[in-house]
Structure 1
Amino acid sequence: MTGTSSPTPPAADGRSTRWNGHKARRRADMLDAAVTVIEEHGTDISVQQIADRLRVPRPVVYRHFDGRADLDDAIRRHILESLLAELLPRLRPDGTMKDAVRGAISTYVGWIERHPHLHRFLTAADPHSESSGALAGARDRIGGQLADLFAESLSRFGIDRNRARPMAFGMVGFVDGVVNSWRAAPTLTSEQVEGILTESVLALLEGNARSLDVPLTRDTVIADVIARAEVARA
């Protein structure tokens, strides 16, 4: 019995591909413009302000988004990507534990201090909106990267890797809660908040390390811990 071959799908139209690229760039330009308007005028912005920034008619902005809610969600995702691009590289083992913790916290708090309107725009998301899910996803990425780091360290000492996840996400939740409280009532300087968060997170790390009999303190060089663990397992 002779089978029939499925029809070959038509090749993509080059003009369509170029148009899609143009639309993506145009959309990115609009999100950049929206971020600039928020930075300058605060969270209560209009589509007209975005259009004015780009020198286009207001309906042109809406051509790239399914209404205002979709636009706001896209802006929040755009802001989150900018924040994560600064923060995630700091969540890598380098220097002492204190260096690593202080570097990550300083980056996060510093970003918020430099971009207070963007932070307020992020935290004002409707809990049921798509951007609220994106914000939760960003926390998951940060917590997940921390969890992977902790899990790798624990496994080198023969300790269950599953202990890492609650430790990592607990720290992310703690930092997030302290920062949100500070921004709602900024009675402390950013340096004071960084100091409180750094000391608190280091205390949590050292306390968990002691309970698991892991030789880890704030002054431990992370590379040395990894090297000692590898020697012990050899």
Structure 2
Amino acid sequence: MTGTSAHSTSTASDGRSTRWNGHKARRRADMLDAALAVIEANGTEISVQQIADRLKVPRPVVYRHFDGRADLDEQIRRHILDSLLAELLPRLRPDGTVRDAVRGAVGTYVGWVERHPNLHRFLAAGDPHGASGSALAGARDRIGAQLADLFADVLGGFGLDPNRARPTAFGMVGFVDGVVNSWRADGVLTSEQVEGILTESVLALLEGNARSLEVPMTRDTVVAELVARSVAAHTA
């Protein structure tokens, strides 16, 4: 009886702990959603009080869920990047031609930045000297790694060193990020112009590398056909 009672008590305690942890996670997510709404409405200089006011809770309640202001800002950046990656990563599983794939991914990123300028500025403000925060670096790694895997599969299929894929993929990510940051800083060009410049530049980079490696790819190549040819070449 004693053992059964102890087990029941432990199970009940574990259940309460799980529910409490779930409640804390939901409250934390609510606070991050509120922070993004405040940034969208008011700009990057936000206070904890503004987040608390939006949630109609005392300011200490917000701090209770984070390890100080630096942790709060980092978690806000992670939340912003999660919303961006939710739109962008699916576009890195390309359909159609190479041109379609590049235009789709670039257009998604440029469009997101144009719709959410304050969120983008908040990310940039967290990286004032080019030293990426962990959230920003993690997002670049995820995007670069997904592109690198795609490139590596094609190169490997044609009997080429797949290690060439990673620097190309991460170089493209850095280039696109740099152009977009410059555009948002000066605001001279339209989003359509920036999208066009980036699309043409990335396509030129891909075509140039393909020619140098004798990979049968141009901007009008259907991606699925390119992958199929690389698989066929690998198994021949």
**What's the TM-score, normalizing by structure 1?**
0.92
Shift of 1:231: 3.1
Residues 108-140 of structure 1, C-alpha deviations (whole Å, 9 max, x = no match): 000000000000001111579x98111011101
1:42-191 to structure 2, matched below 5 A, reads 42-125=43-126, 132-191=133-192
Residues 173 and 179 of structure 1: CA distance in aligned 2, closer, same or farther (over 3 Å):
same
Q: Secondary structure at the match of 1:45?
A: coil
Contact 2:40 2:118 in 1 (8 A): yes
Secondary structure of 1:13's counterpart equals helix
Deviation per CA, 1:129-186: give whole Å up to 9, x if none: x981110111011000000000001111111100101110111111011011111001
Supply the distance in 1 between the matched residues of 2:137 and 2:88 (Cα, whole angstroms).
16
C-alpha distance 89-185 of structure 1, shift in aligned 2 (>3 A): same
Asked if structure 2 preserves the Cα contact closer than 8 Å seen for 1:76 and 1:131, the reply is no
Structure with the bigger percentage of helix = 2
The answer to whether the 8 A contact 1:74-1:131 is kept is: no
Distance 1:137 1:15 in 2: 33
Tell me how far apart the structure 1 counterparts of residues 47 and 224 of structure 2 sit (CA, whole Å): 50
Counterparts of 1:218-229 in structure 2, within 5 Å, are 218-229=219-230
Distance 1:16 1:230, change over 3 A: closer
- The change in CA–CA distance for 1:165 and 1:201 in structure 2 (over 3 A counts) is same
What is the CA–CA distance in structure 2 between the aligned matches of 1:177 and 1:226, rounded to whole Å? Answer: 29
Instruction: Give the distance between the partners of 1:93 and 1:104, measured in 2 at CA.
Output: 9
Could you tell me how far apart the structure 2 residues matched to 1:146 and 1:31 are? 29
Asked if structure 2 preserves the Cα contact closer than 8 Å seen for 1:97 and 1:220, the reply is yes
Note the residue ranges of structure 2 that are not aligned, 5 or more in a row: 1-6
Report the alpha carbon displacement of residue 227 of structure 1 after superposing the two structures with TM.
2.0
Q: Is the 8 A contact 2:155 2:230 kept in 1?
A: no
What amino acid maps onto 2:47 in structure 1?
S
Aligned CA RMSD, in angstroms, stands at 1.7
One-letter code of the match for 2:178? G
- Residue identity (%): 80
Report SS of the residue matched to 1:65.
coil
Aligned twin of 2:14: 13
The Cα shift of 1:13 comes to 2.4
1:204-226 deviation line (CA, Å, top 9, x unaligned): 00000000000100000011112
**1:73–1:131: 8 Å Cα contact kept in structure 2?**
no
Separation (CA, whole Å) in 2 of partners of 1:182 and 1:47: 30
What corresponds to 1:38 in structure 2? Answer: 39
1:231 pairs with 2:232: yes
Letter in 1 for 2:121: R
The whole-number CA distance in structure 1 between the counterparts of 2:94 and 2:108 is: 15
C-alpha distance in 2 between matches for 1:68 and 1:228: 52
Segments of structure 1 that go 5 or more residues without pairing to the other structure are: 1-7
One-letter identity of the residue aligned with 1:143: G
